Structure 1
Amino acid sequence: MERTVVNRRYRIDRLIGEGGMARVYRGFDLLLSRDVAVKVLAPPYSRDLGIRTRFEREAQAAASFSHPNIIDIFDVGEEGDVPYIVMEFVDGETLKQIILDEAPFNPDDVAALVEQVASALDYAHERGVVHRDIKPQNIMVDPDGTAKVVDFGIAQSISDGQLTEIGTALGTVQYISPEQANGLMATPASDIYSLGVVAFEMLTGMLPFTAPTPIGVALHHIETPPPRPSAARPYLKTTIDRAVLRALDKNPVRRYTTAGAFAHDLSRWAEAAASPVAVGGLLPPKEGPTAATVVAFPAQGSPARAPSTDLSRSMGDARGEQPGRIRIGETGGKTAVAAVGTGIGCGTWFAGAATLVVLIALVVVGAALSEGRLGLGRSPDAVPTATVATASQTPVAVATSVPVTATVSVTGTVPVPGVVGMDIDAAIDALTSRGFLVDVGQAVYDPVMQVDLVAEQDPPAETLWEQGRAVMIRPSLGSPEVDLAALELIGRSEAEAREILTGQGINVAVESVTDPEIEVGAVVGSNPETKASIGDVVTLYVSMGDLVVVPPDVVGRPGDDVRAQFEAAGLTVDDDRIVDAGALEDLGVEPGDVTVDDGDVVAVEADGEPLPLGEAVQAGSSVTLVILDTDGQD
């Protein structure tokens, strides 16, 4: 197709990408003199009606958007029965390629990119569209660091009832949400989950779940608790862990209500406590003249690699500060490796640092010379280490790039402090000061504890626990109960009340009711009325004004019961019309469809015409019940 002209306007220059069902070419708009990208459905699929529909849906979904972080759609059409989409050309790379080349990234850069993608998703969600396939391959990044979300090919309206396409896997398995993996409807929370996976991959250079088969990966998304990013990159702060783990919550209602809220929390990573959370390492007690502080360890089997401080070719200027900068000092005669902090004199710091750096340099250079090389040919991910024996003969392994590893031997069994009710950072400080590791688990709802306070700990307070072992703490997401009265739903429009409830993690059902006193479309009540728990269904009663819904499903029920129901609904029931069995076919009642006995309703009429059941009519309208009598009386 290269070097051809489509629709006498778009010159096709060269193939720049190819997916499962489509090819993307770099092209040129001869009319407007601009570069474009032309996406063409591959020939084997151009005759498949379902795939063509999906392809057209992409154009429809994105063409109505105008957002700086969503690819612009310029034109759609067909050339020789092959559909195509003309879109904005982004001179950059996919985020996936950048991750493969450069990850892990500085958390500031991750937050900046996630913020852009989140803005695009919130924009789409506000317009009723879920992307359903957020992954790095569908995020383009230009040389200025601007992200563009592409490929709305499986996006659909939130209100579309046909969200599951038979035989079609919606979403990419490495990034798919648990509910999509279960075959359930995708919601905005599904996109937030996928964005959480993208953030995890950018921060760590790894995917949270892997398996030999796609089904195995999908099962992990459904069943396996997500790992903390700091388990792979221990220099990452607990604020990052909390944000990512909330985005990756198995329960959609427990995730962030908007992608922007996730991005906001991720951008606050630097507000974590100065004391790092040890992962796979040991934080001995701070008390006493010989206390030492040890930085977080890299995950076992994972190379200790400093995070990239920029996104190289694709994300603009880097932030020069690395999250795991170190200092080396001396405390009470023992060498210590610590995260940047306070509490050591400048003279002591420089003297100790100079002495230890010289020792490290001599050992590293000597080892390199003995091997006949100075790091030549070494993988760029490899981090040389040197072992320095201190006066106490405690080995300290010092990596030449962040993160730093260290080994300090501390033993002893001490009571676990009680940290339930503390804020997360204070709890971490209390536990690490006693020599325990800290594992910040998945947040949980708690009817008493405020958000971001510790709701649970394991083992409990005062348990005798060996120093160096981990203590699990779980942050609180707040009470699972929602005070419906405080939301002031009565009098609001249905759309407004629905948005308020879903923002609280509550599912919504709607029933229409007659209420001449309340404006049509306004909420007149709810069930339950006072309180509901997150994940519950709340039924909103919405006013129809002075209209009444004709009760459905009345055929085959006794006439007396139906008459009472109609009158309770606000309808006037005239004298019945009696028919025999011969009239059933004329009334549209098939013998096999419903069992009808003498005295049962077989139809409802108004002014001699059939009245559609389930539709709205004016309150007080007169109706006639058509009753079966096999004796044929009329």
Structure 2
Amino acid sequence: MDTTLTDPLVGKLLDGRYRVESRIARGGMATVYLALDVRLDRTVAVKVMHRSLAEDPAFVRRFIGEAKSVASLSHPNVVHVFDQGTDGDNVYLSMEYVPGRTLRDVLRSRGRLPAREALEVMIPVLAALGSAHQAGLIHRDVKPENVLLADDGRVKVVDFGLARAIEATNQTRTGVMIGTIGYMSPEQVTSGAADARSDVYAAGIMLFELVTGRQPYEGETPMSVAYRHVHDTVPVPSSLLPGSPPLLDTLVAQATARDPAMRPADATALLVAAVEAHRMLPKDSGPVPSVPTGPVPSGPVPGPVAPPAANHTLIQPRGDLLTGPAADLARPAPKASGGFKAKWFMAVLAVVMVVAVGVTGWLFSQDTTIMVPRLVGTNIKVAEEKARQSGFVVEIGKAENDEKAPKGTVIRTEPVEGTEVEEKSKLVLVASDGPKRVAVPNVVGLSEPEARTKLAEAGLVVDEVNKQRSETVPRGQVMRTVPAVGNRVKEGSKVSLMLSAGLLAPDVKGMPRDQADAFLRGAGFIPEFVEQTDAAQPCTVIAQDPQPNAEIDKGAVIRMTLSQCNNGGWHWPWEINNGVTGENPGGQTFLVIPNVMYKDVKAARQELSALGMKVRVRKGLGRGRVLAQRPPGGQQAPAGTEVTLWH
């Protein structure tokens, strides 16, 4: 019975976007479907989590976070995640559809792989893991089931971060280990901790399985296998498969060291070692011998080994031990009758042989042609090794910035892919140096034109220019930038400038001379006074330059015009009999104006109003405290007199 016919999702439109066509596979955590993205008209693979997981809020939160992280990975050997969402009880991932088989399917059908072929599978797997490790992502469940071999020969790694999302569920809060026990590192078994070196361990186990056709540990229960991971040293392939290349023994031993500190730091480090081992292996890895059954012996871990010799000496048996045609060719020929004919025949034969050898040598001396393979998008180290094997002399060009290609992947070749050239021709590989980013230069303290020039030299563009008052930065100078100085931004980005507007000239008109002098000096300005005679009140500022609220710098000169100060006959309008208090003949009540200097403006206003005075507040520096007062404190004045305060 076709299970897809009974699957309720087949034929449905998931989340209003993905029309589910058929079921591809079903696993312990999810079911994978072939679907059509009706919005973009493309075929995708949709992985729907099992309902027991989707009902756990902790899993859903972690699943969404991990999906976003994995979607940011852009590597040719990683199955791309396009989308994530929920539709009712269905929590799903939309992924790149890769027609082909899993590495587990290949192992079931073929058994073990030859050494070179095993490395040719592992190298792209390690390149994918290395890219994730550099982005701060850990796979946590590296195994043949999570490696896809596409029909077109590509190798893809799937299910990044899914194990981490599972760790958040209620199902794992009772000490259950997450992962596939045959590939779990000792630290995952004992503490649940995992980092890049845990993925390296699992990759080492997978390499062992590819070469030998079986996992290193087998037991009746998962716990017995876990025990061996913690307490035993992983055997090397040659202990199970005599004649296995020592280079593979070294790779497996280093990757599966029980102490994480003894393993390669991440998958990129193991990738470099794997590429070098592949380069040193002989082209012909030989026949595939059978692997014995039963327990795998564990033994000492081998150290680094010398590469095998490239040339092998051929030992040939002595001629008198040969029989058959070979013996006939090896023995001396008997003397022939008719010596002249024999000699003539031998002479002709020699000439023919010389000509044949010459023609053969000429044919083999002619140059053969090779074609530039497809290397764009491949890790630079992997591409270099592949190009060398194809017969090119490889040169690594200077890396170039690229907004899309991940750092370390090939962005172009010289000559380009598909070009037919002579063998041992030079092939230049140019890798991506990642997106180009430039630091916002330090333009603080520069004028606007100077800042614009410096930003342009850095490849940046000035956007908005705003102003802000400042007591410390001179007018017209840059106070700060947005983004801030030192931030690395995309070339051509816009940068906003904040210029200093300096200070605003305070309004001191109507202020007594002594108070205006103290007021301006306290604010950091230089007061200058000029007297005039035609004024009602003595020693009072009647004009100023610059005008109030004009932009000026701290330390600027403010010139003021005063009413004449030397006028002994002048007095306030209410002054009578040299300031006698009490009631005047008109019946007015005189009060002493309190001194409210340096008090809070609001409190000073309340105090004067309570005495029956009218209060007028004028902004000077805008600091909220009284910095000048007219009439001054201690002066007698009738109730209702207007008192002006500056702050």
Q: Please classify the TM superposition score into its range, dividing by the shorter chain length.
A: 0.3 to 0.5
Which structure has the highest helix share of the two?
Answer: 2
Task: Give me the TM-score of the superposition, normalised by structure 1.
Answer: 0.43
| Higher gyration radius (CA) | 2
Task: Give me the TM-score of the superposition, normalised by structure 2.
Answer: 0.42
